[in-house]
Amino acid sequence: MSIISKYNRFSYVYDLMEIPIEFLWYRKWRKKMFSGLSGRVLEVGIGTGKNIRYYPKSCEVVGMDISNKMLSYAKKRSRKNKKVSLFQMDAENLGFKDGRFDYVVTTFVLCSIPRPVIALEEMKRVCKPEGIVINLEHMKSEIGIIAFMENLFNPITTALTGVNINRETVENVKKAGLNIIDVKNVALWDVFRMIRSKP
């Protein structure tokens, strides 16, 4: 099944399934990550639009996702915020001109995009030369036992949900030609990390 069909199916229960982790972790991470942003922001894989409420008023937000059903929930969330526009699009082929955005952001997206390096190359292309790409993602740990478990369970998570739990996301950011500013461990040792990079 394609990613688009998987997320179209999940869209009905996505927010419900994420309630525990949203309350435990995600909402505080989202708040922190978005609080300092301003200018034109591209959110890749905006999903049901959970980040929308955390954008400061100074942001003009462009959100995109491959799943029309996920986007329909984001549309509802964006009604109160006139500075959000939404597009159905593939992250591996962004329909924006070069150097358009001050920030390009993802939260929990690079695990499901089929070719993450291509998507990161696209993020680099549409980001202004002085802009910043921020990826808050879970990825393969550098701790042996955790990486072993992630490799072991990855076939199951991809088959069930399309989510890869063993992506080498810091390496992928580098492979895309982005220059790392910093990488911060956020939770579960180094499984959840926030990566900031520049084109």
Ligand X SMILES: C[S@@+](CC[C@H](N)C(=O)[O-])C[C@H]1O[C@@H](n2cnc3c(N)ncnc32)[C@H](O)[C@@H]1O
Residues that bind ligand X (CB under 6 A): 3, 7, 45-47, 50, 65-67, 70, 90-92, 107-109, 112-113
- Distance, CA of 105 to CA of 73 (rounded, Å): 19
Closest approach, Cβ 3 to ligand X, in A, equals 5
Closest residue to ligand X: CB criterion: 47
Nearer to ligand X, 27 or 143 (CB): 27
DSSP string, 82-125: TTEEEEE--TTS--S-TT-EEEEEEES-TTTSSSHHHHHHHHHH
| Residue 150 C-beta: closest distance to ligand X, Å | 16
CB of 11 to ligand X, least distance (A): 8
Rounded to the nearest whole angstrom, what is the least distance from the CB of residue 194 to ligand X in the complex? 13
- Asked if residue 116 lies in contact with residue 168, where contact means CB atoms within 8 angstroms, the answer is no
By beta-carbon proximity to ligand X, the closer residue of 19 and 179 is 19
Pick 25 or 147: Cβ nearer ligand X: 25
Nearer to ligand X, 11 or 197 (CB): 11
Q: Which is nearer to ligand X, 60 or 92 (CB)?
A: 92
Q: Do the beta carbons of residue 194 and residue 39 sit within 8 Å? A: no
Give me the least distance between CB of 145 and ligand X, in Å please: 25
> Phi and psi of 63, rounded to 5°?
-115, 140
Pick the closer one to ligand X by CB: 106 or 141. 106
Long-range pairs for 35-39 at CB < 8 Å and ≥24 separation?
A: 37/102, 37/103, 37/105, 38/102, 39/101, 39/102, 39/103
* Measured CA angle at 84 (ends 107, 121), to 5 deg: 45
Tell me the residue type at 88.
Answer: Q
Smallest separation (angstroms) from ligand X to the CB of 107? 4
